[in-house]
């Protein structure tokens, strides 16, 4: 959902986005099928998928056999770094995006981090984004030789999930193509969200607050 809306924001800003997805050993590989659907719907012709087996690192319920927590209350969801945190995941993803951007001559990297996430994930916070931008200009030939800057665009940063749902409606993004659930059943083409994990709960609350109905299927 967040990636789909971020992509739409990039297009609305007049850019021609290249999309980058990761097959990183996540349990919910179903999200890659969703990414392909979203790219097709938004007319993105260059979608690349990088294989990157982060299970080699371990340490997260998203890649390991740690159980995804279900039915946690709102206070628990916001408290501390969740077990679904994949160590340095966004740093790794952004590093690859930086290399691709340098090769493509792109200088803006869009990502879907937002206010709800950054209460728990360290690598979703504004401080992280600024530190990465500082790194990017000394890490690249473009930055070092030609003084070019790379900008991270996080258009959802200050938005609640309800705000993202509203923005999706304004930008005509079909959220029925997306999947947020950490533990879906069904198939890649027709996933069924569990409704109980943190991601499902936050998503459902967002739709409820926006006064809209989530078009995806729940168990």
The site for a second copy (CB under 8 A) is made up of 48, 50-54, 56-59, 80-81, 85-92, 94-96, 98-100, 102-103, 122-123, 125, 127-128, 131-132, 134-135, 138-141, 143-145
Dihedrals φ, ψ of 64, to 5°?
-100, -175
- Rank residues 132 and 207 by Cβ distance to a second copy and give the closer one: 132
Taking the complex as a whole, how short is the minimal distance between the CB of residue 72 and a second copy, in angstroms?
A: 18
- Rank residues 74 and 127 by Cβ distance to a second copy and give the closer one: 127
In the block, residue with structure tokens 């297009």: 11
Buried-state track 188-201, b at ≥16 Cβ within 10 A, e below 16: beebbbbbbbbbbb
Taking the complex as a whole, how short is the minimal distance between the CB of residue 134 and a second copy, in angstroms?
A: 5
Taking the complex as a whole, how short is the minimal distance between the CB of residue 143 and a second copy, in angstroms?
A: 7
- Rank residues 99 and 215 by Cβ distance to a second copy and give the closer one: 99
Neighbours of 116 (CB within 10 A): 25
- Rank residues 91 and 160 by Cβ distance to a second copy and give the closer one: 91
Q: Please say whether the beta carbons of 183 and 27 come within 8 A.
A: yes
3-class DSSP state of 57: coil
Q: Which residues pair with 67 in a beta bridge?
A: none
């Amino acid at each position: 959902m967040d990636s789909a809306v971020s992509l739409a924001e990039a297009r609305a800003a007049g850019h021609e986005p290249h999309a980058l997805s990761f097959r990183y050993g996540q349990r919910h590989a179903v999200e890659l099928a969703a990414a392909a659907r979203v790219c097709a719907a938004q007319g993105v012709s260059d979608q690349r998928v990088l294989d990157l087996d982060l299970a080699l690192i371990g340490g997260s319920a998203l890649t390991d056999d740690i159980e995804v927590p279900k039915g946690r209350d709102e206070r628990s969801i916001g408290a501390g770094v969740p077990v679904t945190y994949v160590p340095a995941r966004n740093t790794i993803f952004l590093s690859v995006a930086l290399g691709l951007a340098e090769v493509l001559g792109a200088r803006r990297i869009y990502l879907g981090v937002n206010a709800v996430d950054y209460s728990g994930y360290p690598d979703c916070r504004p401080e992280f984004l600024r530190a990465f931008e500082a790194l990017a200009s000394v890490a690249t030939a473009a930055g070092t030789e030609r003084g070019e800057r790379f900008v991270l665009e996080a258009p959802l940063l200050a938005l609640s999930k309800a705000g993202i749902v509203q923005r999706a409606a304004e930008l005509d993004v079909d959220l029925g193509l997306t999947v947020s659930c950490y533990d879906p059943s069904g198939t890649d083409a027709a996933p069924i969200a569990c409704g109980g994990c943190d991601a499902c709960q936050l998503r459902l609350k967002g739709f409820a607050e926006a006064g809209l109905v989530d078009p995806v299927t729940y168990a």
